[in-house]
Amino acid sequence: MVLINHRHVILVFTLALSSTRLAMASHYDLDSIDLVDEAMVTKMAGMGIETTSQLLEQSAKSPKRLAKKLSVSVKTVREWRAFCSLLGVNGIGPKVAKVLTAGGIKNIEMLAKQDPDNLSLLIQKTNEKVEILGKVPEVETVAIWINSAKELTTKKGLTTKGKKKKGK
């Protein structure tokens, strides 16, 4: 007789669900997330960039050209791309991405390198300063985000520079 602990079943199910839902991670309308001001939202919309996924895609193609068209620095375009890359991780929305970036986790590659316990503490301390999240995530949730970020950056070879890693 095999005894199965219900916690093991839940953990396996959660991990399986998190890896299958990576492709379904959310992207948002730019006018709903406070990433750029209204004038920039309008300017981007005129270029066909209305969502964070479209911004992610366009900033990967040619950050210099996009920066020139939008009259911003290339650094600003890269910061937008890095922020949008965090939104590609299932469970990370604009508020969490803002707390992460305020805490120094600027992109998906940095997220992938974190320790769950340390990152949970960083999120808690950062949120105490910026007061964005009503409730901070549990360590288990943070661990899932980190694993998802690792999968996105290693298996798919994605980087915030918009290029695939060599050898992938």
Which pLDDT tens digit goes with each residue over 71-112? 999 999 999 999 999 999 999 999 999 999 999 999 999 999
117 Cβ contact partners less than 8 Å away, ≥ 6 residues apart = 139
| 167 or 24, higher pLDDT | 167
pLDDT at residue 157, as a whole number: 54
Q: Which two tokens stand for residue 78?
A: 């890269």
pLDDT at 6 exceeding the cut of 60: no
Helix/strand/coil (H, E, C) string of 73-88?
CHHHHHHHHHHHHHCC
d(CA 105, CA 76): 16
pLDDT at 9 exceeding the cut of 50: no
- Which of these, 121, 76, 85, lies nearest to 103 by C-alpha position? 121
Q: Using the CB atoms, write b or e for 127-161: b if 16+ within 10 Å.
A: beeeeebeebbeeebbbbbbbbbbbbbeeeebbbb
